[in-house]
């Protein structure tokens, strides 16, 4: 065995000892090592074998799965590693574990390359700046070239590429640049392996052809049309049995090609494809086959529509958001409009009340001028009576309506409860009649074993929780103590009550004396009558009685509108706050 290349050996050692984020930049040195030997030479094969033996190709394949936007070197490093991986795999002849290399490693490497291509395509579509878009497009081109180089060196990978989900998702795109690149990849696959479409499953074949036909029907870009037409022509030339399939599945394909794409710059390829399709149509099976082709075209268009429907969800979401925002704004405007109308109505009602009150007062003044002076009091009494009756009538009506509304819900609930109870009673009565009478069964008694076990549990509980016993002498002594404490409490409560009454009496007498002293004249103006006030307890009482009598007379002579409160007040009721000032300090003094 020849010794391994020292450069490969040193690089493998460095990759093993380095950090994960530094590995992509180290693997780029493989490009210089590969370029040092001529392509196809024995030295080149030996270097590729050493790279594979020391798992450097495995590192390259695994690095392609990482998110390179967070790593050093970025996506440019990922594109170069994809190119290095394809060059390492092409021309490599593995003798040991060949099945693992061809059946596992190569399909995994192709899957990682396609996955990297999907990431670059998505970032190219999302990028806005022109410089960044050109960079991503260049890196995407590098990855597609690496894919073509890899399945060109290993023909069996062509079917693997077509059946890969990432390849179909790369092909299904509305972007012109990347779509043209992916169709060129498909063109290279057909050139490398012309019978690959017959080796894949039917679903994959339908998906690829549906996408090509959809691109011809959904766009007017001549670049896309030229690439799709060349692909269909290549399919028709290499796979003669697929011409019949195209004619049967896509009934309107010939009319679409002749009407939409004639005179677009690729008439030669277009005429060859139409000739093949018309030649196959002449060998058709009649109306049934044409109907089947129409159904196939409808299905193809529908599948294409369903595939792109996901891309339109974002604009629909924005439209829904705008619609909800406009509805909410319209609701707020309606609310503000209604609020303004309510305020205008309230202001209008207030103005009408003021105008009515002004007219009423003007009418009253006009009548007072007409009526004789001796009849004014009588007229005012009549008006007060009418006004009081009107207020009472409106109040009673309001109270009756309020009580009715409160009781109506209660009556409704009561009637509903009665109906439910009646239905439940009828249902229970019917069920009781249908149920057959069961013969009487005596309750089961306890067996001897159960009775002994229960008695044992009772005895154990009594032993664990013995009852407290008290003698007759202790009971009598406890009763006497309770009677003594009760008698002491009653005596103490009577003494406290008498002391409280005396305190209240003294406080009332002090309040009366203080008030008399406050209202008393000075010593220079004092007379014998003033001395009698302090010496006799009956004079203050008479004075307070006179003051309360005058306050009650004054209240009875008040106008009727001063006696009205928030609610109607009966004639024989006098407000407390009208007499508090006069009767609050009244106290009939005396001495114990």
Give the pLDDT score at 167: 84
Strands (DSSP E) contained in 369-492 are: none
Distance CA 336, CA 543 (A): 65
Q: How many CA atoms lie within 13 A of 218 on its CB side?
A: 17
Determine the angle formed by the axes of helices 56-63 and 42-53, rounding to 10 degrees.
70
Q: Which two tokens stand for residue 232?
A: 């269909």
- How far from chain centre, in Å, is Cα 86? 48
pLDDT digit string (tens) for 152-175?
Answer: 888 888 888 888 888 888 888 888
Distance CA 543, CA 188 (A): 127
Residue 265 DSSP label: S
Instruction: Report whether 301 contacts 217 (CB < 8 A).
Output: yes
The dihedrals phi and psi of 168, each to the nearest 5 degrees, come to -65, -40
Distance CA 226, CA 215 (A): 11
Chain length of the chain:
592
Distance CA 480, CA 407 (A): 59
Give the pLDDT score at 345: 93
Give the pLDDT score at 535: 67
Q: Which two tokens stand for residue 405?
A: 């509304």
Instruction: Report whether 85 contacts 60 (CB < 8 A).
Output: yes
Distance CA 48, CA 8 (A): 9
In which residue ranges of the chain is pLDDT below 50?
1, 566-592
Residue 105 DSSP label: I
Distance CA 173, CA 179 (A): 6
390 burial class (0-12, 13-18, 19+ CB within 10 angstroms)? Answer: exposed
- Domains annotated for the chain, with CATH where assigned, are 6-200 (1.25.10)
3-state secondary structure 295-336: HHHHHHHHHHHHHHHHHHHHHHHHHHHHHHHHHHHHHHHHHH
Give the pLDDT score at 540: 60
Distance CA 373, CA 336 (A): 56
Instruction: Report whether 89 contacts 151 (CB < 8 A).
Output: no
Interacting residues of 128 by C-beta distance below 8 A, sequence separation 6+: none
3-state secondary structure of 251: coil
Give the pLDDT score at 36: 77
* Among candidate residues 230, 255, 261, 232, the one with its CA nearest the CA of residue 245: 232
Tokens 């008698």 correspond to 487
Q: What is the pTM of this model?
A: 0.47
Give the pLDDT score at 103: 83
pLDDT digit string (tens) for 391-416?
Answer: 999 999 999 988 888 888 888 888 99
| Max intra-chain CA distance, the chain | 150
Give the pLDDT score at 466: 75
Interacting residues of 22 by C-beta distance below 8 A, sequence separation 6+: 72
pLDDT digit string (tens) for 534-592?
Answer: 666 666 666 767 777 888 888 888 877 776 653 334 444 444 444 444 444 443 344 33
* Among candidate residues 205, 267, 260, the one with its CA nearest the CA of residue 235: 205
* Among candidate residues 125, 137, 197, the one with its CA nearest the CA of residue 161: 197
DSSP 275-296: HHHHHHHTT---HHHHHHHHHH
Within 10 Å of residue 543's Cβ, how many Cβ atoms?
14
Inter-CA distances, 316 with 11, 37, 308, 311, 320, Å: 53, 57, 13, 10, 6
* Burial state string for 468-479 with b = 16 or more CB within 10 A and e = fewer than 16: eeeeeeeeeeee
Give the pLDDT score at 489: 92
Question: Given CA atoms 17, 21, 26, 27 in this order, what sign does their dihedral have?
Answer: positive
* Among candidate residues 205, 97, 90, 116, the one with its CA nearest the CA of residue 159: 205
Q: Which two tokens stand for residue 100?
A: 């693992």
Distance CA 182, CA 144 (A): 8
Tell me the average pLDDT of the chain.
Answer: 80
Distance CA 219, CA 261 (A): 10
**Helical ranges in 18-41 per DSSP H:** 23-27, 29-35
Residue 4 DSSP label: P
Give the pLDDT score at 28: 78
Q: Which two tokens stand for residue 182?
A: 């992916």
């Amino acid at each position: 065995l020849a010794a391994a290349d020292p450069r490969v050996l040193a690089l493998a050692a460095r990759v093993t000892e380095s950090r994960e984020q530094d590995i992509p930049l180290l693997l780029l040195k493989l490009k210089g090592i590969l370029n040092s030997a001529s392509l196809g030479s024995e030295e080149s094969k030996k270097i590729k074998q050493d790279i594979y033996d020391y798992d450097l190709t495995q590192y390259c394949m695994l690095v392609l799965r990482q998110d390179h936007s967070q790593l050093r070197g970025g996506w440019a490093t990922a594109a170069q590693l994809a190119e290095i991986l394809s060059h390492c795999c092409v021309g490599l002849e593995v003798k040991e574990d060949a099945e693992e290399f061809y059946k596992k490693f190569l399909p995994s490497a192709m899957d990682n390359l396609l996955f990297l291509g999907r990431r670059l395509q998505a970032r190219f579509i999302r990028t806005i700046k022109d410089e960044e878009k050109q960079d991503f497009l260049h890196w995407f081109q590098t990855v597609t070239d690496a894919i073509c180089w890899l399945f060109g060196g290993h023909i069996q990978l062509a079917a693997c590429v077509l059946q890969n989900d990432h390849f179909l998702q790369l092909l299904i795109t509305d972007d012109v640049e990347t779509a043209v690149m992916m169709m060129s990849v498909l063109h290279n696959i057909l050139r490398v392996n012309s019978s690959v479409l017959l080796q894949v499953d039917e679903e994959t074949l339908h998906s690829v052809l549906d996408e090509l036909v959809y691109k011809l029907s959904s766009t007017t870009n001549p670049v896309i049309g030229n690439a799709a037409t060349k692909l269909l022509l290549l399919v028709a030339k290499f796979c003669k049995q697929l011409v019949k399939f195209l004619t049967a599945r896509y009934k309107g394909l010939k009319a679409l090609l002749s009407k939409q794409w004639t005179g677009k710059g690729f008439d030669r390829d277009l005429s060859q494809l139409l000739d093949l399709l018309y030649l196959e149509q002449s060998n058709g099976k009649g109306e049934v086959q044409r109907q089947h082709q129409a159904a196939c075209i409808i299905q193809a268009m529908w599948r294409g529509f369903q595939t792109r429907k996901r891309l339109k969800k974002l604009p629909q979401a924005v439209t829904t958001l705008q619609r909800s925002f406009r509805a909410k704004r319209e609701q707020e405007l309606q609310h503000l409009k209604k609020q303004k109308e309510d305020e205008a109505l309230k202001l209008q009602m207030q103005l009408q009340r003021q105008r009515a009150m002004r007219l009423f007062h003007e009418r009253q003044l006009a009548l007072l001028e007409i009526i004789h002076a001796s009849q004014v009091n009588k007229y005012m009494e009549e008006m007060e009576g009418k006004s009081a009756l009107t207020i009472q009538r409106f109040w009673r009506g309001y109270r009756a309506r309020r009580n009715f509304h409160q009781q109506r819900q209660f009556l409704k609930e009561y009637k509903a409860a009665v109906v439910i109870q009646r239905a439940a009673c009828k249902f229970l009565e019917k069920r009781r009649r249908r149920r057959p009478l069961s013969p009487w069964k005596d309750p089961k008694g306890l067996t001897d074993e159960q009775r002994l076990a229960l008695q044992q549990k009772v005895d154990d509980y009594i032993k664990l929780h013995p009852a407290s016993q008290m003698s007759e002498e202790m009971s009598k002594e406890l009763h006497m103590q309770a009677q003594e404490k009760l008698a002491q409490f009653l005596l103490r409560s009577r003494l406290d009550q008498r002391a409280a009454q005396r305190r209240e009496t003294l406080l009332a007498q002090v309040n009366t004396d203080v008030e008399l002293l406050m209202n008393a004249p000075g010593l220079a103006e004092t007379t014998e009558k003033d001395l009698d006030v302090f010496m006799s307890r009956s004079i203050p009482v008479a004075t307070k009685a006179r003051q309360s009598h005058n306050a009650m007379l004054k209240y009875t002579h008040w106008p009727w509108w001063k006696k009205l409160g928030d609610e109607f007040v009966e004639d024989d009721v006098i407000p407390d706050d009208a007499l508090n000032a006069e009767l609050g300090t009244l106290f009939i003094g005396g001495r114990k």
